[in-house]
Structures are given as structure tokens and as C-alpha cells.
Homo-oligomer: A and B are copies of this chain.
Amino acid sequence: MRFKFSLMAIGLEVIIIVLFGLFVEYETTQQVNATRSTKTDRFLLLYPLFQDVHVMIFVGFGFLMTFLKKYGFSGVGFNLFLAALGLQWGTIVQGLLHDKGKKFHIGIKNMINADFSTATVLISFGAVLGKTSPVQMMIMTILEIAVFAANEYLVTSQFQASDTGASMTIHAFGAYFGLAVAGVLYRPGLRREHKNEESVYHSDLFAMIGTLFLWIFWPSFNSAIAVTGEKQYRAIINTYLSLAACVIVAYALSSLVERRGRLDMVHIQNATLAGGVAVGTCADMEIPLFAAMAIGSIAGIISVLGYKFLSPLLANKLMIKDTCGVHNLHGLPGVFGGLASILAKYLGMSTVSTMAMQAAALGSSIGSAIVGGLVTGLILKLPIWDQPPDEHCYDDSVYWKVPKVRELDPQFFQHANHNHLEHEV
């Protein structure tokens, strides 16, 4: 991958820097109709929420993808690379779209939205994890964020739909985009379980680092771009409670569906987060608290059942192999979140047109994801992007220098043993 990857990465970075030079400026306080001190405090008040999202993107998604025994470097390493690329590209694309191609200013909201745009890519990355090359992922990042930004613009500016926590525009979108790509790239050789496609004890613990930071900071994700005040406050509490309820139900279901009642780490690492995805669209709406908790509980059920019964079906019947099961964590709960928002609007006595717009947003997110994903998949299928052969899938050593010594051997601490003998004998 030496030259193709390197030169493409450097080329992209040069282009992005030039685009920043042409189109992006600071948002100075003079440009905002607020007093200097208020404006600045607003920046600093939102900054911790931004940083929570930042941790989710880089540590959360990154470590969540270290569960495979031999693909941890790639999981966390390519996650860093793709997210760093995506946030720069997302800033440009979203800025140009919202400001109609004129020079635009960058502030804390742009930073949050840029991080959001990378989330779609990282979700799709989960679907194809281990089966694609870094060059392919780079291309997917560029294409997916462009489609994402277009759909997000449509949903928020044209349909004026609500999607504060982005159940539809990020989670459902990212999942179906990734599934479409995975479908096009399907290879019969990977149909049966690959020898590398499993975890070891400690790789599952590394993945829990990702799960926990995602879980903890999800209220920030769902509220970061909410309207300041009451609505933001609401989004935080609803998400906090939805996630808590989701955990209890996900554990219960995980134990229930296993023959001997044992918990499955795949469910614990993923399904516990479904409550955050599903409550996203409704998070800032005036739904009662128990409804947020019910949404989280149902999402937990959907997600565990998806992992247990739907994923094998997708792989065997639809020929879509979804490495991380993003369909169960982001796809189904995202769709459920969109549907829940229509119901919430209905119960909240909204007009039919408001409800229709929510439905349009959901349809547009899924539709653009599938079309975009299929086209992207076809491009990635061109045999020039160094896609790894079957036997080298889920294996870091294709892309990384891996340590010669794999693990600590029994004679590990010579000195300790020596002293031990010395004193004990």
C-alpha cells in the first residue's frame, strides 16, 4: 500500500488545506449579534459538550472496534485516521452547503457538526471492518460525508424535520450506507466464519473502554446542537434515562437468548448503547420521562434480537456481512427512533405536515444512504484499491508492523523469578 495510500492521503490533505484557505475563516465575536462576553461564554459552555463528543468519536468508536483478536491496531488506528480526515472534509462540505458556496466562518457549532459527520463514516466503517483497505476507507470517507451533508441539509433546511440526536441522519444513514457497501463488496470466501473473526479475553476488555465512553457521553451527543436552554437540558436527561433503561433490558435479553443464560460480550458492548441511538430524534421533544425510558428499553430488545437472529440471516440470505453488527446498534434503533418521533409528534398534537416531514426525513436518510452506499461500493469494488485477499482479512499485519513477540511468555519476569527463588528456597 506504500505509495497509493501515502500519496492519496497527502494529496487530499493538500486539497483540504487549499479549500480552507479559500473558504473558511474564524467566527469572530463581531460577526455574532451578542455581546462579547456572552458570546464567548456560550463558546466555553458548549466546549465541554464538544469534547465529550470528541472523546466518543476517537476513544469511543476507536476502542469499540478493537474487539477482534488480531485487528486492534487497525480498529483504533484507522478510526483515528478516518475521523481526522472526515472532520476536516465535513467542515468544508457542510460549510459550503449551508452558506451556498461562499466564504464561511467556523465556530464551536461547526466543530461539533464536523465531528458528527465523521460519526456516519465510523458507523459504516464498522460494517466493513477487516475486509477493506485504508485506501478504500479513505474514498468512502470522502464520498459518504458528501452524501451525508446533502441529506442532512435536505432534512434540516428543506423538510425542517427534527433530528437533534441524529437517529435518522447519522445512525440510520451510517448503518445503511455501510450495509450497502458491505453488500456490494460481499465475497463468498468470507461467508463462513473466518479464523480471525473472533475476540480474545483482553481484546473484549479493550472494546469495553469504547463502549463505556460512548455510553457515558451520549447525552452530550444528543444535546450538543440542541437549541440552548430548556431543550438542551431535556435532551440530556432523556438520553441519560433512555440509556440506563436500555442497559437493564439488554443484559436481561442477552442472558435470555443464550442457551445457558450466559451474557454475550457482543451484546453488552453494543446493545447497551441502542437506547442512545433510538432516543436521539425525540431527545429534545416534550415527551414524558417514562417514554424516554420505554424507548431505551425497546431499543435494547431490538438490538439484542438483531444480533442474535437478524445478523446471521443478513449474512446468509442477503449476503451482507456486517462485521460489527452496525445494523443492530445503529440501523434498527435509528429507524425506530425516527418512527418514535412521528408518534411523539402525533401525540403532541402536531399537524399532519409536521409528521410527514419526519417521515420524509427518515425516508430520505435511508434512501440516500442505500443509493450512496451502492454507488460507493461499486467504486470500491474496482480492483485497484488493494482490497485484502480473504486469508488476510481481519489481520493487522497486512497494514502494520506488528511486534515480533506477541505475548508475554511464562519466563517473562526473569528478575522477579530470580529473586523469588533466592528468597523462597
Contact of A245 among B13, B29, B203, B262 (CB under 8 A): B13
Q: Give residues of chain A (179-237) contacting chain B, Cβ–Cβ below 8 Å.
A: 198-206, 208-209, 212-213, 215-217, 220, 228-230, 232-234, 236-237
User: Which residues of A from 52 to 67 have beta carbons under 8 Å from B?
Assistant: 52, 54-55, 58-59, 62-63, 66
Size category, A interface: 35 or more
Spot the interface stretch: A35-43, A337-345, A349-357: A35-43
A43 and chain B: residue at smallest CB distance = B233
- Specify the chain B residue showing the minimal Cβ separation from A10: B252
* Complex CA distance for A108 and B44, rounded to whole angstroms: 15
Q: Which residues of B contact A396 (CB under 8 A)?
A: 413
Binds B, one of A19-27, A159-167, A307-315, A365-373: A19-27
- The residue among A29, A55, A293, A412 with the most chain B CB atoms within 10 A of its own CB is A412
Instruction: Produce 1/0 per residue, A1-41, CB < 8 A to B.
Output: 11101110110110011101100111011000000110011
Q: Does A410 contact B (CB under 8 A)?
A: yes
> Which secondary structure characterizes the binding site on chain A?
helix
Report A382-425 CB contacts with B as 1/0, cut-off 8 Å.
00000000001001111111111111111011111001100100
Indicate whether A45 reaches chain B with its CB closer than 8 angstroms: yes
Interface string of A247-283 (1 = CB under 8 A from B): 1110111011011111111001000100000000000
Min Cβ gap A110→B in Å is 9
**Which of A69-77, A316-324, A325-333 participates in binding chain B?**
A69-77
Contact A1 B255 (CB under 8 A): yes
Tell which of A78-86, A121-129, A145-153, A168-176 binds the partner.
A78-86
Interface residue ranges, A against B (CB under 8 Å): 1-3, 5-7, 9-10, 12-13, 16-18, 20-21, 24-26, 28-29, 36-37, 40-41, 43-49, 51-52, 54-55, 58-59, 62-63, 66, 69-70, 72-73, 76-77, 80-81, 84-85, 87-88, 106-108, 111, 198-206, 208-209, 212-213, 215-217, 220, 228-230, 232-234, 236-237, 240-241, 243-245, 247-249, 251-253, 255-256, 258-265, 268, 272, 288-290, 293-294, 297, 392, 395-410, 412-416, 419-420, 423
